[in-house]
Structure 1
Amino acid sequence: MGKPAGRLVSLDALRGFTIAAMITVNFPGHPDFVYAPLHHTRWNGLSFTDLIAPIFLFVIGVSIAFAYSRRLAEKSPKAELHRKIIIRAVKIFAVGMFLNLLPAFDISDVRWTGTLHRIAFVFLFCGLLFLHTTWRQQAWIAAIILVGYWLAMTLIPTPGVGEVMLEPGVNLAAWVDQQWLPGKMWQGTWDPEGILSTFPATATGITGMLAGRLLLSRFTPHEKVNFLMTAGVLSSLLGYAWSLAFPLNENLWTSSFVLLTSGFAALLLGALYFVVDILGRQRGTGVGVIFGANAITVYVLADIFALVFYGTLFGEVPLNEQAVGALIDWGLAPKLASMLYALAFTAINFIPAYALYKKKIFIKL
């Protein structure tokens, strides 16, 4: 590995655009009027929206490689790095719990999982792995996780059923959650961010760390792009081939889903790295960089702002439905009106992101 590099504008922009996309799809103007690509796939399959979470975990892995390569090069004590990684993971998890408790703060009926909870665990596991393993060991660990998860999910009969099942709420991962996951589950009898699926989600983070290692290597910038794009194509093809036996499924975070989405993430990062950092064409990246500078903070603010923009009632109708209804009355197609409201809400979240960026305030949860 070469000398730790400075910040990549492409990486910062990808992080920010991913968060912006996450906010847009999480908060449609009206839940009944949503374009198909902006929906999560109901079960097996892959949509644009299904790509967002794995790309963000991939970016977290790349960021870990950049941040902790620098710390290790500076000879920072590993005990201190352990402490910082654990504290940051706990803070992210705690903020996730805070959002789950909104608005009633009813601890008796709370969900203990979610997007931030998964980010916390993936960051924790990947951060500790990065400090104590080589890139080859990380690659082997990811491979073992993915193959082991595949074998477990497709060979172990679902308890209580007597045969292997991969259906919603009826599969090994759902059974594990039903036995040991505290609190309520997102879908009643199963949770997309449950216990078992956190292991392949960690493998997604590891693929990002491997990409980060490549970008920090002594290869020339053009060689880095070639390797990253080649790895992206091969990972995508292998993920597709694996999906013929172990379907693409974000809810189960299947091994095929990890490889295909990590391949897409590598291709996207490679393309951005070539255009933005090698060719120096940074026009249009500013919005992404600003969102990305305080990515998790903006994600949290979006949930808080939603209490107003999606929870405020005018008569008996929420503000978002009032606004979408007005746009439809003006002649817009319902799905277009819904998407425009979602984009407007994302733009509102850009305001605090811009203010923090201009004041050079970077909140690290």
Structure 2
Amino acid sequence: MTQATQPQPGSRPRLLSIDALRGFDMFWILGGEGLFAALLVLTGWSGFQLAANQMEHSAWHGVTAYDLIFPLFIFLSGVTLGLKPLALRAMTPSARWPIYRKALKRLALLCLLGVVYNHGWGGGIPLAPDAVRYASVLGRIGMAWFLAAMIVWHLSLRAQLLAAGLLMLAYGLTQGSFGADPYSAAGSLNAWVDQALLPGQFYGGGPLDPEGLFSHLSAALNALAGAWVGRWLSTPYALNRRLALLAAVGSGLLLTGYGISPWIPLNKTLWTVSFVLVSVGWSGLLLALFALLIDGWGWHRPGRLFALIGGNAIAIYLASALVDWGYLSRSLMGGVIDSLPAAAQPLLACLALLAVQLAVLAFLARHRLFFKV
């Protein structure tokens, strides 16, 4: 936990829309995904059923709004990387080492916190190494950011684009040509790599882990795309011009990703090339929309509300696994919830859960306490 620092004179201010979009992204993980199901119970309107279906992961192939939460977070980690570009290739080895050390420390800490979030240590101390789930969401975020950072810090923009194209081509070809059924769970290259190299337990006891080793490579493309977007947003061009190009490129990526999906299925667990294109496309469009509304049109009040979550995203994400927010909200509001008609109770319970978490985040922000990794 660290005290927030004031921006240095002459530094570019951080865009509120980035923290707001990160908070909007996290909002659905913290309990917002239950709002549509609760509204369905209250109103019976079938439209809320369609929205509630989007708040669940795809069974295998396909993509839902909930599938896009994770890649959007990775994309935004890349945006912050692009807003503060470094060119290590021009530095001496002694000047580079502190930056490498900080990046490695961040990667290691995220991997460790991911195991903590997973409760992946099995039966407790003493640890049983075979019972640990080492792969994690936070580990994926750290690895994708680290790989993207190494490319951004050491290559020119043209070389970055070439490296990303070669990585996407190599990933797609090796994944798609592996075995007789390359896009199945058990028959995929992802499963083979995890079973050969990833120790411990896999999520759900399946043949591969959704945050497994091989798909770190394609997830890095989401972070790398975010870095290019951050670089573009930091240019002196008019905001409308920057956002128009971002929206146009995002739309093009969506069309391409959905267009190739009959041959390369959209699959979050395998993190296929088509999934990269679609998730980056949606991420770009959402960022363009949030930047237009908040940074362009001045919708600062709702922006600050979501930024409460985005500014402490790692802390509240960890707390979602370590704190029983449902128990706390029921302790505070249980009597009021139970006094309402049965159809209204799920909605108030969901709102109470979100309110308790927002109150804690507001307290931390008021005292300028932020958990930074």
TM-score (norm. length: structure 2): 0.82
Q: Which runs of 5+ in 2 are unaligned?
A: 1-9, 42-48
What amino acid is the match of 1:351?
Answer: A
1:174 to 185, 191, 203: 191
Give the superposition deviation at 1:23.
2.3
Give the secondary-structure state (helix, strand or coil) at the position aligned to 1:187: helix
1:187 aligns with 2:194: no
For residues 104-124 of structure 1, the C-alpha deviation after alignment (integer angstroms, 9 at most, x for no partner) is 436321100111111111122
For residues 138-166 of structure 1, the C-alpha deviation after alignment (integer angstroms, 9 at most, x for no partner) is 22222222221111111121xxxxx2331
Give the superposition deviation at 1:331.
2.7
* 2:169 matched residue in structure 1: 147
2:354 to 343, 346, 354: 346
Give the superposition deviation at 1:350.
1.8
Aligned residue runs from structure 1 range 209-248, under 5 A: 209-248=227-266
1:55 to 72, 96, 115: 72
* 1:160 matched residue in structure 2: none
* 1:362 matched residue in structure 2: 370
- For the 8 Å contact 1:139–1:210, the answer to whether it is kept is no
For this pair of structures, how many residues does the alignment match? 344
Task: Go from structure 1 to structure 2 and tell me whether the alpha carbon gap of 1:344 and 1:190 turns closer, same or farther (over 3 Å shift).
Answer: farther
2:299 to 281, 284, 296: 281
- For the 8 Å contact 2:186–2:208, the answer to whether it is kept is yes
Aligned residue runs from structure 1 range 68-217, under 5 A: 68-69=85-86, 77-101=95-119, 104-105=123-124, 107-108=127-128, 109-157=131-179, 163-188=180-205, 189-217=207-235
- For the 8 Å contact 1:62–1:208, the answer to whether it is kept is yes
1:270 to 283, 288, 293: 288
2:319 to 275, 291, 301: 301
Give the secondary-structure state (helix, strand or coil) at the position aligned to 2:225: helix
- For the 8 Å contact 1:139–1:206, the answer to whether it is kept is no
For residues 242-282 of structure 1, the C-alpha deviation after alignment (integer angstroms, 9 at most, x for no partner) is 21210111111111011111111101111111221122222
- For the 8 Å contact 1:29–1:340, the answer to whether it is kept is no
- For the 8 Å contact 1:16–1:290, the answer to whether it is kept is yes
What amino acid is the match of 2:343?
Answer: L
Give the secondary-structure state (helix, strand or coil) at the position aligned to 2:301: coil
CA distance in 1, matches of 2:151, 2:352: 40
- For the 8 Å contact 2:253–2:280, the answer to whether it is kept is yes
Task: Go from structure 1 to structure 2 and tell me whether the alpha carbon gap of 1:137 and 1:218 turns closer, same or farther (over 3 Å shift).
Answer: farther
2:19 to 1, 9, 12: 12
Give the secondary-structure state (helix, strand or coil) at the position aligned to 2:299: coil
CA distance in 1, matches of 2:156, 2:265: 31
Report % sequence identity: 28
Give the superposition deviation at 1:211.
0.6
What amino acid is the match of 1:59?
Answer: L
* 1:316 matched residue in structure 2: none
- For the 8 Å contact 1:4–1:66, the answer to whether it is kept is no
Which moves more between the two structures, 219-228 or 99-108? 99-108
1:41 to 46, 55, 58: 58
* 1:21 matched residue in structure 2: 28
Which moves more between the two structures, 270-279 or 131-140? 131-140
CA distance in 2, matches of 1:327, 1:235: 48
What amino acid is the match of 1:130?
Answer: V
For residues 210-262 of structure 1, the C-alpha deviation after alignment (integer angstroms, 9 at most, x for no partner) is 11111112322221111111111111111111212101111111110111111
CA distance in 2, matches of 1:330, 1:274: 40
Give the superposition deviation at 1:70.
11
Task: Go from structure 1 to structure 2 and tell me whether the alpha carbon gap of 1:27 and 1:133 turns closer, same or farther (over 3 Å shift).
Answer: farther
Give the superposition deviation at 1:201.
0.5
What amino acid is the match of 2:118?
Answer: N
* 2:46 matched residue in structure 1: none
TM-score (norm. length: structure 1): 0.84
Give the superposition deviation at 1:77.
3.6
